[in-house]
Structure 1
Amino acid sequence: MKFGRRGVPAYLASLLAMMMGWWSSYAHAADPLSVFVSILPQKYFVERIGGNRVQVLVMVGPGQSPETYEPTPRQMVKLSQANLYFRIGVPFENIWLKRIIAANPNMEVVDCREGISLLSTGEAHGTGGEDEGHGATDPHLWTSPVLVKKMAVHIRNALAAVDPAYSHQFEANYQAFVQELEQLDRFIRQTLAEVTHHRFMVFHPAWRYFAHAYGLEEIAIEQAGKEPGAKSLAALIEWGRREGVRAIFVQKQSSRASAEVVARAIGAEIITLDPLAEDYVNNLRYVATVLARVLR
């Protein structure tokens, strides 16, 4: 019998080397995919479909704004090691995405908006103010569960392409997620079925896709990222009084000063809704419930 240098039988040494090589390959294959997303709702989507095969990191954290966000050096380091990036069209991507790709040319970048008709930021407000008009496309498409179903297809396909050994798991998770979204859609439609008013006022125009999906209309105080001028503010106050607006919706990532001015003038309450909440399904259930109360 042949022995290795340390007295281990040669066949055992060979077998041990083979097992170690196999285990190394298995462990490497079993490592979850490193996936980056731009905002917290996307983390919910990717984790629902990817399950334990993904480790999802978010660029814009709680309380931060996708309009003004800048990646940290630590995030850039982690991005250089990521497998996938799911973009969704929020403003900071337009500035940073080229640099992100340059940091990791091997990372697959998937545009979740592909195949979705985007709304203009100038749509859906008709108060007669000075700032009316059509502008760039609205990035807040995730507020519509109907559109999230379309985004889910891109997520499933991208994960399966990068990690084909687990494609059956991704497909099963995708089907379960679609059912969850359909249940959410039914809940929202049932909750809003009895509303008598269909226009609601917000500060930051983040709910246009939600409104579009459920027969509502969003009236925004902020236009093109700017506070309203005096003429627009007066038009909003006049419209709010005429329509009997009972609430103005704000979010923690934006200023609420102009919203408070309008609210005081028309006797409306200020309500905080968060379009960037991570707990997507429960958050939209809450949004629908609040809107149903205010619009009855």
Structure 2
Amino acid sequence: MKKLFLLFLALNFSLFAKEVTVSILPQKYFVEKIAKDKISVNVMVQPGFSPATYEPKTSQMRKLANSKVYFSIGVPFEKAWLEKFKNANKNLLVVDTTEGIEKLPMAKHSHEEEHDEHKHDEHNHNSDHKHEQDHEDEHEHEGLDPHVWLDPILVKIQAKNIYKTLVKIDEANSEFYQTNYENFIKELDSLYLQLKEILTPVKDRAFMVFHPSWGYFAKRFTLEQIAVEVQGKEPKPNQLVELINEAKEHNIKIVFVAPQFSQKSAKVIANSIKGDAVIMDPLVENWKEGLIKTSKQIVDSYK
């Protein structure tokens, strides 16, 4: 009897909960912190795929017809698809959750600047790349950094934009959303202090990543991000030499790589510095635990 009741509740939720769609998994975490079970959240970019080049499936486009809102965040694939989403659902409300955030330029590093005149060279794609793991397009690398979800203080701005939108589409539950929003803001402040404490031993130090996803995180916690990528491409042999020397200069023993990208260059550098290439995922669904894990990984990389 209890199982039947729980099944009834689940069916009732799926039938009557309003639907929204987000671009990436961390946004799902943010929406659910505020909406709890009042809102059903669909995610466009599936685990293991890159938000640079993602192409939604036909089934996702069909499901989009049920969404009241699309919460965008400025990742590259949105540039090609937001208009298509609007055409697929004429009543879709598209909300930029980054409104009010002053974005940083994509990180440029010394080896990139020295070879800037070659920025239009043909991409050196490796055969072991998956189609959806291709590097971010040139627009992102020449423009603004979209990775604003990796700074808990900037997430407070995103949370406010989400909260205001939920109240707009579901005014009957406005007090419920307000309570959860205020609690989430407190959680974000607490998380910031926790991460700051974890990272204190490595303040002002550098960490090396394949793709420059961690610029906002690095700035918030007074760290230096050194990126392996050059204009979204694998580094050339002479650039690899520069990166290896820089890693040695900073006493770096770990090269971090997101699972959406090839580990080839990271492993070359890691082997040369007698270190390791380690996975560090900026797109995990459990966003809070992901940031805590990342912070500990950076600290542990200097032990």
Q: TM-score, normalised by structure 2?
A: 0.84
The whole-number CA distance in structure 2 between the counterparts of 1:128 and 1:87 is 29
Q: CA deviation at 1:127?
A: 4.7
Percent of paired sites with the same residue = 41
The whole-number CA distance in structure 1 between the counterparts of 2:38 and 2:222 is 38
Which residue, out of 219, 228, 235, partners 1:228? 235
Q: Match of 1:86, as an amino acid?
A: F
The whole-number CA distance in structure 1 between the counterparts of 2:62 and 2:155 is 29
Q: CA deviation at 1:195?
A: 1.8
Matched, 1:43 2:50: no
The whole-number CA distance in structure 2 between the counterparts of 1:243 and 1:193 is 17
Q: CA deviation at 1:231?
A: 2.6
CA contact (8 A) 2:203 2:223 kept: no
CA RMSD of aligned residues (A): 1.9
2:215 paired residue number: 208
2:48 paired residue number: 63
Q: Match of 2:29, as an amino acid?
A: Y
CA contact (8 A) 1:64 1:253 kept: yes
Q: CA deviation at 1:130?
A: 3.5
| Superposed structure 1 runs of 4+ greater than 4 Å apart | 131-134
| Alpha-carbon distance change, 91 to 128 in structure 1, aligned in 2, over 3 angstroms | closer
Matched, 1:251 2:236: no
Matched, 1:160 2:167: yes
CA contact (8 A) 2:204 2:224 kept: no
Q: CA deviation at 1:224?
A: 2.5
Which residue, out of 164, 178, 183, partners 1:176? 183
The whole-number CA distance in structure 2 between the counterparts of 1:221 and 1:92 is 22
Count how many residue pairs are aligned between Structure 1 and Structure 2: 268
2:275 paired residue number: 268
Give unpaired runs (5+ residues) of structure 2: 1-11, 120-140
**Larger Rg belongs to:** 1
Give unpaired runs (5+ residues) of structure 1: 1-26
The whole-number CA distance in structure 1 between the counterparts of 2:149 and 2:107 is 18
Q: CA deviation at 1:109?
A: 0.6
The whole-number CA distance in structure 2 between the counterparts of 1:291 and 1:103 is 43
Matched, 1:130 2:114: yes
Matched, 1:87 2:72: yes
1:7 paired residue number: none
Matched, 1:52 2:37: yes
Q: CA deviation at 1:196?
A: 5.8
